[in-house]
Amino acid sequence: MIRKAMIAALLATAGWGFGCESAAPIDDQGGGSLSVSEELDRIRQNYTPPPCLYATFRIKAQAPGQSAQSARGVLRADNQNHRMLLILRDPYIGITLSRIVVRDTEVFYSNPRSDLQTAPLEAFRVSGMGYNQVALPFSVFQDLLFARLPEEAFGPRRRVARDAEGVSIALQRNGDDFNYRFVAQRLSRINYIAGGGGVEVQAAMNGRYRDTAYPASIRLESGPRGLPPEVLEVSFDSINTAAECRESQFSPR
């Protein structure tokens, strides 16, 4: 049995990591020219991921009282076959700091401190630095990187509310609470609260990468209440929604 505390760090040298670890009906609040169902249809169209995606990005982590740590990232996502490759490298000398492959519901990961390890996707989590509080489920982090939304957001067990500025979709998964906020049919932020009222993570989507559904950057914040938050930020450098995905590109090793 894989324990949450035993999952290797995403950036071993920096201390970043990935770790193991009934809804009400629609509430149509507010007016507007679109009905709630029409608004949801448009949102769903905006966040239909391409068959194959290739992207490069920069990632930076900052914990209170600590120096910022950064890396360069490469992402390849085969959405048709539920596969993903994520590589993080030192921004200065190019050494691979972390390599993660997702195949269906299993994760294969390695870094300079460990050989290849595996974990179920549902137990894999993003982690921060100092307080180790940016503990977002990795499947949600995948959705952010792929510009897609979980199917539960459009199923019968989610709650939808609309106001003058946009639409919010609330849902539960494995005892955790998620709230997706949309403005002009574009994802603006996600609030995540771990089951039992534990860790809370806020993910804000900033700007827009050209004419795609992808934001220019994604900012994750979390930390103990009353203290400065930890911050994990992903900034896209390039996004190719017509990339090629081959089986050999998603080898666990």
What pLDDT is attached to residue 183? 94
Mean pLDDT comparison of 21-25, 73-77, 107-111, highest-scoring range: 73-77
What pLDDT is attached to residue 79? 92
pLDDT-wise least confident of 127-141, 157-171, 209-223, 227-241: 127-141
When pLDDT is cut at 50, 70 and 90, the band that residue 166 belongs to is: very high
Residue 128: pLDDT above 90? no
| Cα within 13 Å of Cα(67), Cβ side | 4
Spatial separation of the C-alpha atoms in residues 45 and 209, rounded to whole Å: 17
Residue 12: pLDDT above 80? no
| pLDDT-above-90 percentage for the chain | 53
When pLDDT is cut at 50, 70 and 90, the band that residue 8 belongs to is: very low
What pLDDT is attached to residue 134? 66
Q: Is 83 helix (H, G, I), strand (E, B) or coil?
A: strand
When pLDDT is cut at 50, 70 and 90, the band that residue 123 belongs to is: confident
When pLDDT is cut at 50, 70 and 90, the band that residue 77 belongs to is: very high
What pLDDT is attached to residue 45? 92
**Strand 114-120 vs strand 124-127: parallel, antiparallel, or unpaired?**
unpaired
The secondary structure of residue 154, as a DSSP letter, is G
How confident is the model over 65-78, as a mean pLDDT? 92
Contacting residues for 106 by C-beta, under 8 A, at least 6 apart: 118, 119, 120, 121
